[in-house]
């Protein structure tokens, strides 16, 4: 096996130290390892590990000074392990978690590599028309299955606080926006949303569930030959919280035009073999056994705001020189369009 490794500058690590660690803690593991860093991963650098024992994926915290509680790879490992062990929700099988930064410089975990495909554009231009709607069916079924999991029964009682999820999220991302403003700049529409969201919050909340926090098409992996969903990826933002907010974040692709963040706005959905937004909402309701999604427009505003705040944080990392992905500048440019869309949705609702 070749020893050539593919790292982006600044994201290298000691492959021999990793190899020795895995020999000790993973049964039947043998080296050598060939490392190839994936181009994606806005927050946590992700690498493919090719070995004689099989192929794996490693996710680690990025190097450098980090915000407390961010880049929580240990939480990703925990929720994936619980789901893989106790449910049929499709996730890569976790192998080992290491919180000792002396091994490769940061905490990390290793998981199964899934031999499938990631689709980056929700319009699915690379698929035949006949396969597009079935793939959307598989995608929404996966999210509904996650929201149906009894998180207490699988040992995640303390994985998050079930009450007040959206209020905490609004507070968190408002503070994050403020923290990043010195480097990423202030945005008037974001500050109007920070004022609007607490005032218009719905009374009462749905029953809490495991929420993925970033459920979108490019965080899913599908079978090469079918529309079967093989695995849900990137669990960094997962917690116990409001499943309607989680669904609204996913549904938001229908309202967003493609830029750094890819969306479906302006596309002839019927001509492209895709379900309309109302049909997709109905499919989620059918899978969950509910007749409607309450306060959906509010949650869409919240999710647009949160995504704008995430992009604002990416802009801050670009300015600090710590952005992980080469696509970071495209995401950073989406702050103003997303904030404008969110505020417009808020005022119409």
Q: How far apart are CA 296 and CA 278, in angstroms?
A: 12
Per-residue pLDDT tens for 80-116?
Answer: 999 999 999 999 999 999 999 999 999 999 999 999 9
Q: What is the pairing mode between strands 209-211 and 239-241?
A: antiparallel
pLDDT of 62? 82
Tokens of 33: 């390892």
State which CATH number among 1.10.357.10, 3.30.200.20, 3.40.50.300, 3.10.20.30 fits the domain covering 15-112.
3.30.200.20
User: 129-348 in CATH: which number?
Assistant: 3.90.1200.10
Walk along the chain (349 residues) in steps of 10 and give the mean pLDDT of each run.
Answer: 75 94 95 90 84 94 65 91 98 96 95 96 96 98 98 97 92 94 93 97 94 95 95 95 97 88 93 98 97 97 95 89 78 93 94
Ordered by start, the domain boundaries in the chain are: 15-112, 129-348
Q: Report residue 162: phi and psi, to 5°.
A: -70, -30
Half-sphere exposure of 327 (CA within 13 A, CB side): 14
Which residues contact residue 338 at a Cβ distance below 8 angstroms, ignoring those fewer than 6 apart?
256, 261, 304, 305, 307, 308, 311
Q: Report residue 49: phi and psi, to 5°.
A: -115, 110
Distance of CA 263 to the CA centre of its chain: 15
Tokens of 304: 């647009």
pTM, two decimal places: 0.90
Q: What is the largest CA-CA distance in the chain?
A: 60
Per-residue pLDDT tens for 241-257?
Answer: 999 999 999 999 999 98
Does residue 286 sit in helix, strand or coil? helix
Alpha helices in 100-187 (DSSP H): 129-147, 165-184
Strand partners, 92: none
Residue with tokens 């997962």: 238
pLDDT of 1? 47
């Amino acid at each position: 096996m070749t020893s050539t490794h593919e790292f982006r500058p600044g994201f290298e690590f000691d492959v021999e130290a990793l190899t020795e660690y895995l020999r000790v803690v993973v049964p039947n593991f043998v080296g050598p390892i060939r490392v190839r860093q994936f181009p994606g991963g806005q927050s946590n650098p992700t690498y493919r590990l090719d070995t004689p024992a099989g192929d794996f994926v490693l996710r680690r915290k990025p190097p450098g000074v980090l915000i407390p509680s961010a880049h929580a790879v240990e939480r990703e490992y925990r929720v994936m392990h619980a789901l893989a062990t106790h449910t049929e929700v499709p996730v890569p099988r976790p192998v080992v978690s290491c919180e000792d930064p002396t091994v490769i410089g940061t905490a990390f975990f290793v998981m199964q590599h899934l031999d499938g495909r990631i689709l980056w554009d929700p319009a699915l231009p690379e698929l035949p028309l006949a396969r597009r709607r079935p793939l959307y069916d598989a995608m929404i079924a996966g999210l509904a299955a996650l929201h149906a999991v009894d998180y207490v029964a699988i040992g995640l009682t303390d994985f998050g606080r079930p009450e007040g999820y959206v209020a905490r999220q609004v507070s968190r991302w408002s503070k994050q926006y403020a923290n990043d403003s010195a480097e990423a700049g202030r945005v008037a529409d974001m500050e109007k949303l920070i004022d609007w969201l607490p005032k218009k919050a719905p009374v009462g909340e749905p029953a809490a569930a495991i929420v993925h926090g970033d459920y979108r098409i490019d965080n899913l992996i599908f079978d090469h030959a079918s529309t079967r969903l093989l695995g849900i990826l990137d669990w960094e933002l997962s917690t116990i919280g409001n499943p309607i907010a989680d669904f609204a974040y996913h549904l938001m692709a229908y309202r967003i035009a493609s830029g750094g963040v890819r969306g479906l706005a302006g596309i002839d959905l019927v001509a492209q073999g895709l379900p309309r937004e109302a049909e997709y909402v109905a499919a989620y309701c059918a899978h969950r056994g509910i007749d409607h999604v309450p306060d959906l427009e509010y949650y869409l505003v919240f999710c647009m705001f949160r995504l704008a705040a995430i992009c604002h944080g990416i802009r801050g990392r670009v300015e600090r020189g710590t952005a992980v992905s080469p696509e970071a500048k495209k995401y950073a440019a989406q702050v103003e369009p997303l904030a404008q869309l969110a505020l417009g949705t808020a005022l119409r609702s």
